[in-house]
C-alpha cells in the first residue's frame, strides 16, 4: 500500500479507501483508576500477571511480536467473585462523577461538533456493553452459572452498570446532539449466542430499554449492537429492546 497516504484509522474514516468520516465522544465509562499491572509469576515460557482490568491471565511468551501473542491468554481469575468484591470494585473504581471521565478540552469538542457534517457516536467504540461488562468482571463461565445460581446478584450488577453509565453521559446528552450509540457485547460463538433468549429477555431487555429511552429523549435515533458470532436467536428481542442496527 502507498506510504504517506493511509491513516489506518477505519473507525473514523480513511480517505484512500473512500471510507466516510465519523467521530466518537471520548468519554471514559470504564474502570478508573485501573489496577496496577503486576507480574505474579514468570518463567522462560509463561507469564502470569494481573492486568489493569483486574483480570489475571497466563500468557505464552514465545512468538510475541510487538507486544502481540501467538494465542489468547488463559484466564485464571477475575476481579469479582461475590457481592463483597463487587461492591468494593465499584466503590474504588467506578465513581461516575470524577472530572477525568471527560477529556480536558471537552468544551472545545462541543463547539467543533456543533457544525459537523458527519455522524457522531456517544462514547468510543467498544466502550460499553451490558453482557460484556459482566463478563469482564466475573468471567464467561462464572457468569453462565450466576444467571441460575444467583440471579439477584446478576440483576444488582446490571442495574449498577446501567445507572453508572447513564450518570456519566448525562452531561454529554445535555450538551451535544449525538447520532448513534453502540452497545459492544460479543456474546455469541459461531453457532449460537452464549445466552438463551429467555435469559436475554429477563436480564438484558429491560436495561437496554432504559438506556435507549433516555437517549431517545436526547435525540439519538440509531442504536447499534456489536457482537461477533451468530446472534440470530436474539434478534427479535434486540429489536424489541429498541436497538435498530446490528
pLDDT at 210: 98
CB 189 within 8 A of CB 230: yes
Q: How many Cα neighbours within 13 Å face the side chain of 228?
A: 5
pLDDT at 62: 79
Residue spans per domain, the chain: 15-30+80-240, 36-78
H or E element, residue 75: strand 74-77
User: What confidence category does residue 181 fall into, taking pLDDT thresholds of 50, 70 and 90?
Assistant: very high
Long-range residue pairs from 197-203, CB within 8 A, at least 24 positions apart, any chain: 197/233, 197/234, 197/236, 197/237, 199/147, 200/234, 200/237, 201/237, 202/151, 203/147, 203/151, 203/154, 203/155, 203/158
pLDDT at 61: 83
Percent of the chain with pLDDT over 70: 100
Q: What angle do CA 206, 209, 213 make, to 5 degrees?
A: 145
Mean pLDDT of the chain: 95
User: What confidence category does residue 85 fall into, taking pLDDT thresholds of 50, 70 and 90?
Assistant: very high
Antiparallel, parallel or unpaired: β 180-184 and 222-226: parallel
Lookup: cell for 122: 456517544
Higher pLDDT, 184 or 125: 184
State whether CATH 1.10.3470.10 applies to domain 15-30+80-240. Answer: no
Q: What is the dihedral of CA 107, 111, 117, 118, to 10 degrees?
A: 0
Q: pLDDT tens digit string along 102-156?
A: 999 999 999 999 999 999 999 998 999 999 999 999 999 999 999 999 999 999 9
Instruction: Give the SS3 label for residue 33.
Output: coil
User: What confidence category does residue 10 fall into, taking pLDDT thresholds of 50, 70 and 90?
Assistant: confident
Residue 185 has pLDDT above 90, yes or no: yes
Q: What is the mean pLDDT of residues 172-192?
A: 96
Q: pLDDT tens digit string along 210-232?
A: 999 999 999 999 999 999 999 99
CB 223 within 8 A of CB 244: yes
pLDDT at 195: 96
Q: What is the mean pLDDT of residues 86-91?
A: 97
Instruction: Give the SS3 label for residue 65.
Output: strand
Amino acid at each position: 500500500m502507498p506510504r504517506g497516504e493511509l491513516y489506518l484509522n477505519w473507525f473514523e474514516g480513511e480517505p484512500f479507501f473512500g471510507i466516510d468520516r465519523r467521530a466518537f465522544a471520548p468519554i471514559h465509562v470504564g474502570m478508573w483508576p485501573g489496577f496496577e499491572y503486576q507480574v505474579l509469576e514468570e518463567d522462560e515460557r509463561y507469564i502470569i500477571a494481573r492486568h489493569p482490568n483486574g483480570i489475571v491471565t497466563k500468557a505464552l511468551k514465545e512468538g510475541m511480536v510487538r507486544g502481540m501473542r501467538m494465542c489468547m491468554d488463559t484466564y485464571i481469575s477475575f476481579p469479582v467473585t461475590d457481592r463483597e468484591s463487587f461492591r468494593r470494585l465499584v466503590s474504588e473504581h467506578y465513581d461516575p462523577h470524577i472530572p477525568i471521565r471527560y477529556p480536558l478540552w471537552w468544551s472545545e469538542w462541543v463547539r467543533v461538533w456543533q457544525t459537523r457534517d458527519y455522524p457522531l457516536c456517544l462514547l468510543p467504540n467498544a466502550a460499553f456493553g451490558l453482557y460484556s461488562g459482566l463478563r469482564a468482571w466475573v468471567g464467561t463461565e462464572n457468569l453462565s452459572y450466576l444467571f441460575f445460581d444467583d440471579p439477584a446478584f446478576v440483576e444488582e450488577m446490571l442495574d449498577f452498570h446501567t445507572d453508572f453509565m447513564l450518570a456519566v453521559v448525562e452531561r454529554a446528552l445535555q450538551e451535544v446532539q449525538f447520532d448513534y450509540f453502540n452497545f459492544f457485547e460479543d456474546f455469541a460463538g459461531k453457532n449460537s449466542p452464549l445466552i438463551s433468549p429467555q435469559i436475554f429477555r429477563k436480564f438484558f431487555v429491560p436495561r437496554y430499554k432504559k438506556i435507549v429511552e433516555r437517549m431517545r429523549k436526547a435525540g439519538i435515533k440509531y442504536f447499534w449492537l456489536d457482537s461477533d458470532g451468530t446472534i440470530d436467536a436474539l434478534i427479535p428481542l434486540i429489536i424489541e429492546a429498541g436497538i435498530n442496527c446490528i
